[in-house]
Amino acid sequence: MTVLPNSLHARDVAYHFHPYTNARRHERVGPMIIERGAGIHVYDDQGREYIEAMAGLWSVGVGFGEGRLVEAAARQMSRLPYYHTFTHKAHEPSILLAERLVRLSPEGLDHVFFTNSGSEANDTVVKLVWYYNNALGRSAKKTFIARQGGYHGITVAAASLTGLPTNQRGFDLPLPFVRHVTCPHAYRHARAGESEEAFADRLAAELEAVILEEGPETVAAFIGEPLMGAGGVLPPPRTYWEKVQAVCRRHDVLVVADEVITGFGRLGTLFACEHYGIRPDMMVVSKQITSSYQPLAAVLFSDAIYQGLADHSEAIGNFGHGFTGSGHPVATAVALENLAIIEERGLVANAARSGARLQQALAPFAEHPLVGEVRGVGLIAAVEIVADKASRAKFDPPGRVAFHLFERAQAHGLIVRAIQDTVAFCPPMIITQAEVDELVARFALALEETAAWVGAGMPA
Ligand code: PMP
């Protein structure tokens, strides 16, 4: 494409420093400008159509161009475009959404704190847990345990919880309040011949050993995504969660479920906690709460935690935490409408149905010479590329082949995500089974072309 000096492309390169983008490469290749969306599709400024098989960033559950969300935002904008929730102020949408979330969420989560993003929500988790333990006079109980491969965001505390080198390298992170334990992904981390259950036993034993080594009086919480997303779509081994929870309960360590990707139906259940039998003390939600039409996240927590926070804030005079946008009226109004759409249209059941189709249609790729593992639950899935199926060896350099596959997919009108050697799928929850078939057909073309390219010696 010829880039005119005053084009949007040129201005983007000149002025816009992008998140999660190699700036030097961006100078060479420029932006892909998306102009509009409808249903599961988005369209770029050249008029090309794509199946958005990542729902944006794992988040546009109801699909693009949903008029009801536009109207909900416009109604709230005209009535009350902004008001805060500090110092006893409130407005209807934030109240109704807090109540709705408590009613919908797993048992034992009774109170809600709003933030603008998942990262802010996880920073809030850390601060609430510290504040709570200070309230209980347990000032040493502050360490968090998270997992390698976990993703909890990129603000300073959240990026410390995240267990991916790319979010820490160059940023002087993680902060020392976090310990990371083994990633619960059997394909890469189970030992030869180890059963799923035995792997889960080993992970639970490792967690307990870390808690004992640190001293249970210093370990405050364990945080995990029920199914890891950004780390490569990694479902945990069977029995993992029940074993990990038992260890946490034994040592009075809070369990925090990060449902930022999985919340509101992604796995075919309203929350992944239901799918895995997790009874969290705290839960974080975002993304599909508004289908990302507005930025919003929430931290839900138990009444026991609430009582500690409330007592402590009274004792020390105030609760000194909150965002200008906490419970933003437009974002919470959009969330209420979005949750109503998910319920009325049966999108959780649709995610289960179309998800089953997706898993079924991807499963045969496990036989492909380039594919090491196909995995997923409901409407989230991944295909991991390997150089050698038997040894599971990766291509050198890692990620190059998956990136090529991602580019070929895009050329065939399919937006997926390349995560190192893995290609991820997380389409809008409105996707039909016929659209799943079309998505998989485009992927199959891209995989064949990638195999041919590898066969030709991966020419530059
Ligand atoms: N937690 C999880 C599980 C996530 O997937 C993400 C975002 N992908 C976050 C937290 C951070 O959310 P945000 O990008 O809104 O800060």
Strand 297-301's sheet: what is its strand order? 111-115, 297-301, 282-285, 254-258, 219-224, 143-147, 178-181
Per-residue pLDDT of the chain (460 residues; tens, 9 = 90+): 667 778 999 999 999 999 999 999 999 999 999 999 999 999 999 999 999 999 999 999 999 999 999 999 999 999 999 999 999 999 999 999 999 999 999 999 999 999 999 999 999 999 999 999 999 999 999 999 999 999 999 999 999 999 999 999 999 999 999 999 999 999 999 999 999 999 999 999 999 999 999 999 999 999 999 999 999 999 999 999 999 999 999 999 999 999 999 999 999 999 999 999 999 999 999 999 999 999 999 999 999 999 999 998 888 888 999 999 999 999 999 999 999 999 999 999 999 999 999 999 999 999 999 999 999 999 999 999 999 999 999 999 999 999 999 999 999 999 999 999 999 999 999 999 999 999 999 999 999 999 999 999 999 8
Q: Which pLDDT score is estimated for 1? A: 63
Nearest to 261 by CA among 293, 233, 240, 294: 233
* Mutational pocket test of ligand 1: of 228, 260, 282, 289, the residue with most ligand atoms within 8 Å of the beta carbon: 260
Q: Is 153 in the pocket of ligand 1 (CB under 6 A)?
A: yes
> Could you report the per-residue pLDDT of 72-101, keeping only the tens digit for each?
999 999 999 999 999 999 999 999 999 999
Nearest to 45 by CA among 87, 3, 78: 3
Domains of the chain: 32-62+346-455 (3.90.1150.10), 68-344 (3.40.640.10)
Q: How many angstroms is it from 307 CA to the middle of ligand 1?
A: 27
Q: How many angstroms is it from 151 CA to the middle of ligand 1?
A: 7
Task: Calculate the alpha carbon distances from 203 to 130, 255, 335, 376 in Å.
Answer: 26, 16, 37, 20
> Could you report the per-residue pLDDT of 30-39, keeping only the tens digit for each?
999 999 999 9
Q: Is 261 in the pocket of ligand 1 (CB under 6 A)?
A: yes
Residue 260 · residue 307 · CB < 8 Å = no
In the numeric block, which tokens belong to residue 162? 């995240």
Q: How many angstroms is it from 282 CA to the middle of ligand 1?
A: 16
How open is the CA angle 442-383-159, to the nearest 5 degrees? 115
Q: Is 286 in the pocket of ligand 1 (CB under 6 A)?
A: yes
Q: Is 117 in the pocket of ligand 1 (CB under 6 A)?
A: yes
Distance CA 130, CA 141 (A): 8
Q: How many angstroms is it from 424 CA to the middle of ligand 1?
A: 16
The whole model's pTM is what?
0.97
Nearest atom of ligand 1 to the alpha carbon of 287: 15
Nearest to 122 by CA among 175, 63, 183: 175
Find all residues with CB under 8 Å of 199, minimum gap 6, and list them.
184, 186, 189, 190, 191, 237
Burial 286-298 (b: 16+ CB within 10 A, else e): bbbbbbbbbbbbb
Q: Is 208 in the pocket of ligand 1 (CB under 6 A)?
A: no
Q: How many angstroms is it from 233 CA to the middle of ligand 1?
A: 14
Q: Which pLDDT score is estimated for 6? A: 86
Q: Is 152 in the pocket of ligand 1 (CB under 6 A)?
A: yes
